[in-house]
Amino acid sequence: MISTYELKVAGIYDYSGSLAVFTTNTQFTSLFDDYTNGWFSNEKINDIDSHSIVTTISKKTF
């Protein structure tokens, strides 16, 4: 199932090549139902079940 969200743009930042959403933790968890997590690592993450990883982005992706 694909979810859609309605967001209000409060400001625009010169952050070329990326998409960033800045919000408080309370706003984030209320919007995304407390199910979304993000991890950043310089190494492959091996301690999370692969079925729980939706996507992996690396330098090779771009």
User: What is the predicted pLDDT for the residue at 57?
Assistant: 78
Confidence of residue 62 (pLDDT cuts 50, 70, 90): low
State how many domains the chain has.
Answer: 1
What residues make up the domain containing 31?
25-61
Q: Would 12 be classed as within a structural domain?
A: no
Q: Model pTM? A: 0.34
Q: Would 35 be classed as within a structural domain?
A: yes
Q: Would 47 be classed as within a structural domain?
A: yes
Q: Would 19 be classed as within a structural domain?
A: no
Q: Do residues 7 and 21 lie in contact, with contact meaning Cβ atoms separated by under 8 Å?
A: yes
User: What is the predicted pLDDT for the residue at 44?
Assistant: 82
Confidence of residue 14 (pLDDT cuts 50, 70, 90): confident
Q: Which two tokens stand for residue 51?
A: 């079925």
Give the closest residue to 33 by CA, choosing from 3, 1, 55.
3
User: What is the predicted pLDDT for the residue at 36?
Assistant: 62
Q: Would 10 be classed as within a structural domain?
A: no
Residue 47 amino acid letter = D
Question: Tens digits of per-residue pLDDT, 15-52?
Answer: 676 667 778 878 877 777 666 667 777 888 888 888 87
Q: Which two tokens stand for residue 24?
A: 């408080």
Q: Would 31 be classed as within a structural domain?
A: yes
